[in-house]
Structure 1
Amino acid sequence: MAVNASPRSMAVPLAAFVAGAVVALLVGVFGKVHDPSLAGTTTLGFRTVIDMKVVLSVVVGVLAVLQLLGALWIYGRFSTAAPAWVGTAHRISGAVAVVIIVVVAYHCLWALGLETGTFAGGEPVPTRTVVHGVLGCVLIGAVVVKVVAVRSRRAPGWFLPVAGGLLFTLVVVVVLTSAVWYIGAHGWPGSGGYG
């Protein structure tokens, strides 16, 4: 009986990773074929779309760190047991992070597209921009994988921490190659720097 249960439980992570890969690929294809436009975007009260994306990306980075700390606390990796509110806070902050990721990803893809190769003038796209764009698409696929991991009760025990670790890593790299890079190069949005 245990032999039959194992392959069935592996179907959940396999299906999740396939679905995540398909979503990442579709997002990337959309980013390549879509003509970037500011029409259909919002600044959410910030001066520019870039300012909004930088600030929201920093918020996502902070939420990702809080997600990691909350998960470690919930799973007993700290010396004190997690109070009951930590689980609720972890779920709410995770949902907020996903919503913000979707908002930022939409604005990245809609306003900028997925830039690879060379710009229209023949100038090569910087490596940081390519890495950020490709990993941003993979990040959206990883969100799909993590949502499946959280919702599934039949997946093996390793699936949720692996999905969470993958998502956390991608968030960190994507935020470092976007918001952190921007702040280092131009200053905090609205502080008088480029924008």
Structure 2
Amino acid sequence: MTAPPHARSSPSLSDAAKLLIPVAIGSAVAVTLGVYASLHRPTGVAVTMLGVSSPLAVKAWLASASALLGAFQLATASAMYGQLPRVTAPPWTGTAHRWSGRIAFLLSIPVAVHCLYALGLQSSSPRVLLHSLLGCLFYGAFTVKMLFLTKQGLTGWALPTAGGIVFAALTALWLTSSLWFFTAAP
């Protein structure tokens, strides 16, 4: 038996704040990165690593490792949420999910620093502009996801949605950078 419509509880202001405050903060992160990248005069200083041929190669390989860990994140989250048929998540899945996420994020930092300082926000081609905007989206969405993790009683769809946006942005970043580098770069 269901409660009459007038007796059902509606979302409270605090429920909305649990969603809106992290989204506002994440949006501020994304916009701040975009504004900084567009106003900052690119330095051209490149991130290099011993044994890697060029700064673009460093970025492509770090981004690829981050994207691979992102795919692992998707698989472990799907297992933890019971979304994989006939798969029971082993007890270590949560720990593996957390650590792979931390490592993926840390691998993305040198790439982002290089993009922000050496290149800035660029619009020389649709691919480059899209990549710049996706970078801002990724870090904004990541901020939202991390803030959602601290909220008790958050609606059930919020964290998986934020995680999905982070994964989609990371995948699109990889497609507009690393895949381009490995297949079409001069």
Relative to the length of structure 1, the TM-score reads 0.84
Q: Does 2:48 correspond to 1:43?
A: yes
**How far apart, in 2, do the equivalents of 1:136 and 1:33 lie?**
16
Of the candidates 93, 96, 107, which is equivalent to residue 100 of structure 1?
107
Deviation at 1:11, TM superposition (A): 0.8
Q: Is the 8 A contact 1:10 1:155 kept in 2?
A: no
**How far apart, in 2, do the equivalents of 1:170 and 1:36 lie?**
24
Alignment-derived partner of residue 120 in structure 1: none
What runs of 5+ residues in structure 1 fail to find an aligned partner? 117-124, 187-193
**How far apart, in 1, do the equivalents of 2:182 and 2:88 lie?**
37
Q: Is the 8 A contact 1:44 1:52 kept in 2?
A: yes
**How far apart, in 2, do the equivalents of 1:112 and 1:10 lie?**
38
Deviation at 1:5, TM superposition (A): 6.3
**What per-residue deviation string (whole Å, max 9, x for no partner) do you get for residues 64-83 of structure 1?**
11110101111112212111
Alignment-derived partner of residue 77 in structure 1: 83
**How far apart, in 2, do the equivalents of 1:147 and 1:136 lie?**
17
- Aligned residue pairs: how many? 178
Alignment-derived partner of residue 5 in structure 2: none
What runs of 5+ residues in structure 2 fail to find an aligned partner? 1-7
Of the candidates 26, 32, 35, which is equivalent to residue 20 of structure 1?
26
For residues 50-65 of structure 1, the aligned pairs below 5 Å read: 50-65=56-71
Alignment-derived partner of residue 190 in structure 1: none
CA RMSD of aligned residues (A): 1.9
Q: Is the 8 A contact 1:36 1:112 kept in 2?
A: yes
Q: Quick one: which amino acid aligns to residue 179 of structure 2? A: V
SS in 1 for 2:89: coil
Q: Quick one: which amino acid aligns to residue 89 of structure 1? A: A
Q: Is the 8 A contact 1:10 1:156 kept in 2?
A: no
**How far apart, in 1, do the equivalents of 2:57 and 2:159 lie?**
33
**How far apart, in 1, do the equivalents of 2:134 and 2:87 lie?**
36
4+ residue stretches of structure 1 with deviation over 3 A?
2-6
Alignment-derived partner of residue 121 in structure 1: none
For residues 155-194 of structure 1, the aligned pairs below 5 Å read: 155-186=154-185, 194=186
Relative to the length of structure 2, the TM-score reads 0.88
